[in-house]
Amino acid sequence: MAGDFSTRTTTERDWEQVRALRIENATDNPISYGATLEFTLAMTEQDWRLRARRGEATETTSVVAVDPTGRWIGMMSGQVGDAYGPEPVLTGVYVTPSSRGRANGVADALLDHVLEWASGHGDRLRLEVYDQAVPAVRFYGRRGFRASGRSRDFRLLGQGTDAPSLRLVELVRTVT
């Protein structure tokens, strides 16, 4: 991987950095975060501490990429199961614009961590991605994810019911 960065799991002490990166995420691409900027800004310190603790838990993970200056440049999370099944699920994917792309290796390194974590919790990793997010769909395809055939309509947290819905498609890959 060509980028100059390190990865590590998050801890509760990281809540302020988690908040800052997720505000950047909601500003840059609210669809990838799943919430409007207004909703994100209204979240409490306890909400952020909970998200930061995911890196310390067994049934969840949260990994961050950090550049040599200490700036957080990407993050991915995972959880065991959701409303659609018991398998591990990739969530909370974000890489800062200047660190995106295969040459930088940030998304690949973060996904490698989540895949390793997921292998201890099941034989597949699932995710949902916005059907119009062509670079993300291409990245996941390169990493072995394939459409499961399941999709659903989605509205960002903080949007009213009158907001247009987005289409999320489920992708899956084996992890063993």
Please write the tens of the pLDDT for every residue from 81-121. Answer: 999 999 999 999 999 999 999 999 999 999 999 999 999 99
Rounded Cα distance between 71 and 80, Å, is: 28
pTM, rounded to two decimals: 0.94
Phi, then psi, of 96 in degrees rounded to 5: -60, 150
Q: Answer for the pair 66, 102: CB distance below 8 angstroms, yes or no.
A: no
> 153 pLDDT exceeds 70?
yes
The predicted structure's pLDDT at residue 31: 85
Is residue 2 scored above 60 in pLDDT?
no
C-beta pairs of 128-133 under 8 Å, 24+ apart in sequence: 128/152, 128/154, 128/168, 128/169, 128/170, 128/171, 129/168, 129/169, 129/171, 130/31, 130/32, 130/166, 130/167, 130/168, 131/166, 131/167, 131/168, 131/169, 132/166, 132/167, 133/31, 133/32
Per-residue pLDDT at 161 exceeds 70: yes
pLDDT tens digits along 114-152: 999 999 999 999 999 999 999 999 999 999 999 999 999
